[in-house]
Chain A
């Protein structure tokens, strides 16, 4: 667990209903939309190949709109070119969501829109209809677990040290769209207040597990939860309960304060977009370990003595 400047790859999964996406080789900036699409409602099945009198394999030959295209009610989806023409038309406004193996068509109404934003400055290296990979250089700090949607914003330090707790009274709407560094511990109350104030994300040494359950539901576990829902973004750097961050981890954050940054929740990483020489890192990485009752995480600095286990 240490700061590292280098090349990082970030995979962005794409939901069903893709309309447009970035192509391989395209340069992107953190926060930029790299894929957009629609949330689809209950689809309506339209007789396709069998209505047109063609084999399912021949349907693409007579299609008039591409799969995924937006269509208006009554629009011709497919049509045979004979004198006595047969056509399949859209029963509703929506999108041609899917062409079935048997040649029938699925038209679904549009009930919402979604967008996927890059969380790192870089280049799209892998692009498909199910995921995009963006690779770029940035300072990276690997956390233990992250929860909520990805977040992009300016780093703001509001704790005085690596052992301090994020106090709700220090959070207000002036911190909107910032990524807050909350010291050693952030409680559920502070995180909820930060979300209400429009804060992009909260980064802390540890967050109480019960607080995470209160914020994200009882199914949440220690391995994080990446979601697209409207929820706070939380990055636990060291663990759960309470923690004290080692100075080697915390001091670079003082230097990076004010820089653009992003939290990728699926991989629990904090990216800071600052020059490679912006901060000096110690030669040996800091060590953190859980306490003997497993209830907290502590930085190990100085000499250490080991005691036998309780078994």
Chain B
């Protein structure tokens, strides 16, 4: 049974400054098989480094081409993973930088292979690290990269805090937790299961300064498909580019708000896609029973905006609670190391219980709150919101499925099916999106432009 109860005494949150940190441009030079490349990508994701180059020893490129690509990448850090072909990559590093100012060079691998590479790169003051494919090696590399991003020794990195918060919440609630943090420049997704297994992934895409990167990576059509009205693609590009250069501008119309939500969805989708490239199994993420929203979506004034964006992007497949961490209270508490002083789940604002359904025939769901029971019949393809007040109980087929002390929004019944498929044609897609946004009351009706 899913529950949003158990709110303990609030944690006293002091003044803690959480920072995104310095952006690190990371070049991955990987010897060996594709598993090594996946391991290196996982390091980059976990450390919130911006991967500007990924090159394998097995690639059919010349030494000159490799060195040119490396120099053009303007990397701050080069991660060289030992394996077949790594010697050639080490030579490319030597040719690219020579005796000039060079980036931080990290050499990762088992002792024997690493020693040879370290010898070749001695003039570049290369740093040794354990194999990236091992958990201890990954932790060591992530810690080093985060140290490089930290502006001051005691600064708390946002992605680090999100990861710690996911772990703390999973321990406090004994449930699998996903935290999604979408900001102006970065998007972080952290997962932690009740058994302690966890991962975090961040990418340099966001709804503000890096909104244009979402378009460059995902394509403008993927952003456009989430907007519930006909929009001219070139004009949409102008909007995204202007937004990226002026991230402080608030949405001034319903269209720009819908665009911000669309970019948030695709930012999260990009992180998920990067996780898959890095070989991370996403099935547990879609089965997590608690999703917490942080960052810009959590600050959206209508809770349904945050709920719909998360539902569309993550496409959860189970009964779950969506909560939001407004004002970064959770992140600051965890960053300050106060998770032992109280229940961190007390800092969250439960927004909605979401039941993901795939009924073959209309299914009856009963939702009880302070106003009494309400029965809803859910048909395939529908997205329904049942607003609630006070304590909430959700029953299906005569059994209690979920409870909550209080919810900001209510119960959302999502019968749109999984994977969530949007019709490709505007004539079918726009009415579907309009139905969903209207059902949840996502966009302001007046002043829409």
Which interface class (under 10, 10 to 19, 20 to 34, 35 or more) fits A?
35 or more
Residues of B within 8 A of A50 (CB): none
> Are B234 and A209 within 8 A (Cβ)?
yes
How many Å from the CB of B32 to the closest CB on chain A? 19
How far does the alpha carbon of A294 sit from the alpha carbon of B252 in the complex, in Å? Answer: 8
B346 within 8 A of A: no
How far does the alpha carbon of A40 sit from the alpha carbon of B250 in the complex, in Å? Answer: 49
> Are B68 and A15 within 8 A (Cβ)?
yes
How many Å from the CB of A300 to the closest CB on chain B? 13
> Are B216 and A307 within 8 A (Cβ)?
no
Number of residues from B at the complex interface, CB < 8 A: 58
> Are A290 and B94 within 8 A (Cβ)?
no
> Are B216 and A291 within 8 A (Cβ)?
no
How far does the alpha carbon of A213 sit from the alpha carbon of B249 in the complex, in Å? Answer: 24
On A, residues with C-beta under 8 Å from B are 13, 15-17, 40-43, 97-98, 100-102, 106, 108, 128-131, 144-145, 208-210, 213, 218-223, 239-241, 289-297, 307, 309-311
How many Å from the CB of A47 to the closest CB on chain B? 15
7 A-B pairs, CB-CB below 8 angstroms?
A13-B72, A13-B74, A43-B64, A129-B98, A208-B238, A241-B239, A310-B256
> Are B62 and A310 within 8 A (Cβ)?
no
> Are B239 and A128 within 8 A (Cβ)?
no
In the complex with contacts A13-B74, A209-B234, A240-B251 CB distance below 8 A: no
> Are A292 and B252 within 8 A (Cβ)?
yes
Q: Besides A13-B74, A15-B72, 20 other CB < 8 A contacts?
A: A101-B119, A129-B98, A129-B99, A130-B96, A131-B100, A221-B216, A222-B242, A239-B241, A240-B245, A241-B238, A241-B239, A290-B243, A290-B249, A291-B252, A293-B252, A293-B256, A295-B239, A296-B238, A310-B444, A310-B447
Q: Which chain A residue shows the least CB distance to B211?
A: A222
> Are B235 and A16 within 8 A (Cβ)?
no
Q: Which chain B residue shows the least CB distance to A292?
A: B252
> Are B246 and A128 within 8 A (Cβ)?
no
In the complex with contacts A210-B233, A295-B239, A307-B64 CB distance below 8 A: no
B411 within 8 A of A: no
Interface string of B94-120 (1 = CB under 8 A from A): 111111110000000000000000011
Interface centre among B63, B120, B249, by most chain A C-beta atoms within 10 angstroms, is: B63
Interface centre among A220, A221, A241, by most chain B C-beta atoms within 10 angstroms, is: A221
How many Å from the CB of A298 to the closest CB on chain B? 11
> Are A16 and B101 within 8 A (Cβ)?
no
Residues of B within 8 A of A219 (CB): 216
> Are B244 and A101 within 8 A (Cβ)?
no
B400 within 8 A of A: no
Residues of A within 8 A of B71 (CB): 13, 15-16, 130
Interface string of B434-449 (1 = CB under 8 A from A): 0000000000100111
Residues 394-421 of B at the A interface (beta carbon under 8 Å): none
> Are A144 and B245 within 8 A (Cβ)?
yes
> Are B94 and A311 within 8 A (Cβ)?
no
> Are B234 and A297 within 8 A (Cβ)?
no
How far does the alpha carbon of A297 sit from the alpha carbon of B302 in the complex, in Å? Answer: 28
How far does the alpha carbon of A222 sit from the alpha carbon of B206 in the complex, in Å? Answer: 13
In the complex with contacts A42-B62, A130-B71, A294-B444 CB distance below 8 A: no
How far does the alpha carbon of A293 sit from the alpha carbon of B447 in the complex, in Å? Answer: 12
Residues of A within 8 A of B255 (CB): 293
Residues of A within 8 A of B302 (CB): 311
Residues of A within 8 A of B91 (CB): 98, 100-101
In the complex with contacts A98-B63, A239-B246, A309-B251, A294-B97 CB distance below 8 A: no
Residues of B within 8 A of A221 (CB): 212-213, 215-216, 241, 244
> Are B74 and A295 within 8 A (Cβ)?
no
How far does the alpha carbon of A13 sit from the alpha carbon of B70 in the complex, in Å? Answer: 12
Residues of B within 8 A of A240 (CB): 237-238, 241-242, 245
Q: Which chain B residue shows the least CB distance to A41?
A: B64
How far does the alpha carbon of A42 sit from the alpha carbon of B60 in the complex, in Å? Answer: 11
How far does the alpha carbon of A15 sit from the alpha carbon of B90 in the complex, in Å? Answer: 18
B223 within 8 A of A: no
How many Å from the CB of B60 to the closest CB on chain A? 11
B323 within 8 A of A: no
Q: Which chain A residue shows the least CB distance to B97?
A: A130
How far does the alpha carbon of A174 sit from the alpha carbon of B304 in the complex, in Å? Answer: 59
B254 within 8 A of A: yes
B264 within 8 A of A: no
Residues of B within 8 A of A293 (CB): 239, 252-253, 255-256, 449
Residue A222 contacts which of B97, B121, B219, B244 (CB distance < 8 angstroms)? B244
B14 within 8 A of A: no
> Are A43 and B62 within 8 A (Cβ)?
yes
Residues of A within 8 A of B256 (CB): 292-294, 310
Q: Which chain A residue shows the least CB distance to B213?
A: A221
